[in-house]
Structure 1
Amino acid sequence: MLSVETLTKTYKTGDRALSDVSFTVPKGQVVGLIGPSGAGKSTLIRCINRLVEPSAGAVRLNGADITRLSNTELRRARRRIGMIFQEYALVERLTVMENVLSGRLGYVGFWRSFLRRYPAKDVQMAYRLLDRVGLSAHVDKRADALSGGQRQRVGIARALEQEPELLLIDEPTASLDPRTSRQIMRLIVEICRESGLPAIINIHDVVLAQQFTDRIIGLQAGRVVFDGTPAQLTEDVLTTIYGAEDWTAMRKGASEDAEAEEEERAQAKKLMDAL
């Protein structure tokens, strides 16, 4: 379980990015983190694994306080926290398999990683994960030859190669088209439920958050202003988080896109069944 306790981040300029943020995420729960630009979403994600140092508060992962660890202890703790980035963070010249295996860098020695001599069990796990994310046919393809959706799938497999206890996911659909965005969100949620992994997804697309996550936390100016189920995210709550907007029209357009995708999937299934 992840527990965030009165987490605060104040920069040297005096700007406060987070103010007394508190919540817990139990095993297997997928949380959507929403809010306007500058609300503190990315800062929160990065404070949890201390890519950004919090100014106060605590972050506990299965009882261990991440904010109190030494640098050596922190490196070990980060092996248990999988991170999936908006811009994929792949090594473009390396193959899909090599990028996935880089998720084991925290476990193998320098020379084994430099020479790419990973233990057989790590390689076998990478093959299983690539099959799970639908990339088993692209194992030897270079990362720079992949589409955006495929790159994000590599990023998911790499994070899972760490055998994490928590997933932190920063804007996983920001660079993807609507259909691919839904496919990626569906994949993330399915994997978390299969593995019992807790996850926090910083996501700008409110409709996707409502469609796929178990719970939504809304930030406004570094404070939690909403914490509830997707069904509780009413237009009044959205207005509190983001300001006035025609939320009905936005949801209608997204619903039509989702219905079109489901119809396409149903037609494809019928075709496969007929073969």
Structure 2
Amino acid sequence: MLRLDKLTKTYKTGDQALKAVELEIPQGQVVALIGPSGAGKSTLIRCINRLVEPTSGKVWLGDTELTELGAGALRRERRRMGMIFQEYALVERLTVMENVLSGRLGYVGFWRSLTRRFPQKDVDEAFRLLDRVGLVHMADKRADELSGGQRQRVGICRALIQDPALLLVDEPTASLDPKTSRQIMRLICELCAERGLAAIINIHDVALAQMFVARVIGLRAGAVEFDGPPDALTPDVLTTIYGEEDWVATIDKVEDEEDTLDPEAVA
């Protein structure tokens, strides 16, 4: 469903952030993107929706080649790619409901978007999504009154109300405590399963990635060093991706936590 063909990004400084990356992600598959800082993870996500322009290569979403689209066609295709940000990217002075509905701005006309007047079906869907993530009772609260975990759930709702085919998720747990991080990862994976959504989750926490996804892609210096199931992330593989570390302890931690992981819903 998503295909990257020799995707390359070289900055004007000469730094090569991505080196001919080739990937295929089928519909419904959730993938964790791991690697050290500077490996190109965020650049990869942003090249897919062309928030960063690739230097060369192609990006296909279904039958559409995103890398050849003009500005108008690209705006329309971006509606099919929901983005969830590390720092939430909410408008602090707006309510939770208004932030969620902002995900529909690409679908409504200019005047409706200017006055934030949305069709009733969009409002109904926003309430349904907020109920699904446990925030319907906070619909009228301002975004700046929310905790980090609550803000991230609002960001998830805003992405899903676009009715996307693909989720691009950039460090969704970086600012959250361990328990909330688990809840957010579990929620994203459950929602993708419910909707048949593909997702790429850029995440630093290797253990968290191993707990929740069936496929992990490891980047190092802009190139794919690993692509496989989480249980194939051996100490040698992790050393190749990140460098020397006590990876045996990390793997043992994942196995211990998986044994005690409860199926609690997001509260």
TM-score (norm 1): 0.93
Deviation, structure 1 residue 248 = 2.4
**CA separation of 1:180 and 1:149: change in aligned 2, threshold 3 A:** same
| Matching residue of 1:272 | none
The answer on 1:128 being equivalent to 2:128 is yes
What RMSD in Å do the two structures reach over aligned CA positions?
1.6
Contact 1:80–1:164, Cα closer than 8 Å, also in 2: yes
Shift of 1:203: 0.3
- d(CA) in 2 for partners of 1:173 and 1:217? 18
The AA in structure 1 aligned to 2:178 is: P
Superimposed CA distance per residue, residues 155-201 of structure 1 (whole angstroms, 9 cap, x where no aligned partner):
00000010001000000000000000000000000000110000000
Task: Name the aligned partner's letter for residue 79 of structure 2.
Answer: R
Aligned counterparts of 2:163 and 2:262: Cα–Cα separation in 1: 32
* Aligned residue number for residue 147 of structure 2: 147
Cα pair 2:211 2:258 within 8 Å, conserved: no
Which residues of 2 match residues 22-33 of structure 1 at below 5 A? 22-33=22-33
Match of 1:183 in 2: 183
Q: Which amino acid aligns with 1:249?
A: A
SS in 2 for 1:87: coil
Map of 1:112 onto structure 2: 112
Once the two structures are TM-superposed, the CA of residue 114 in structure 1 deviates from its matched residue by: 1.9
Q: How far has the Cα of 1:208 moved from its partner? A: 0.7
Counterpart of 2:239 in structure 1 is 239
Mapping of 1:1-275 within 5 angstroms? 1-253=1-253, 262=262
For residues 243-264 of structure 1, what are the alpha-carbon distances to aligned partners after superposition, in whole Å with 9 as ceiling and x for unaligned? 111112234445556666639x
Report which stretch shifted further, 239-248 or 148-157.
Answer: 239-248
Q: Is the 8 A contact 1:213 1:230 kept in 2?
A: yes
Q: Which amino acid aligns with 1:119?
A: P
Please list every run of 5 or more consecutive structure 1 residues that lacks an aligned counterpart in the other structure.
267-275
State how far apart, in whole Å, the 1-side matches of 2:254 and 2:21 are: 30
- The Cα offsets for residues 35-69 of structure 1, whole Å up to 9 and x where unpaired, read as 00000000000000000000110000011000000
- For the 8 Å contact 1:179–1:261, the answer to whether it is kept is no
CA distance in 2, matches of 1:150, 1:68: 37
Structure 2: stretches of 5+ with no match in the other structure: none
Is 1:173–1:203's contact at 8 Å kept on the other side of the alignment? yes
On the 8 A contact 2:97/2:140 being kept in 1, the answer is yes
Cα distance in 2 for residues equivalent to 1:186 and 1:22? 27
The CA deviation string for residues 228-250 of structure 1, in whole angstroms up to 9 with x for no partner, is 01111111100100011111223
Identity of aligned residues (%): 69
In 2, distance between residues paired with 1:240 and 1:95? 45
Q: SS of the residue aligned with 1:262?
A: coil
| TM-score normalised to structure 2 length | 0.96
Shift of 1:105: 0.4
Whether the 8 Å CA contact 2:210–2:254 is kept in 1: the answer is: no
Q: What's the secondary structure of 2:262's corresponding residue?
A: helix
Would you identify which runs of 4 or more consecutive aligned residues in structure 1 move more than 2 Å?
248-263
Distance 2:134 2:231 in 1: 31
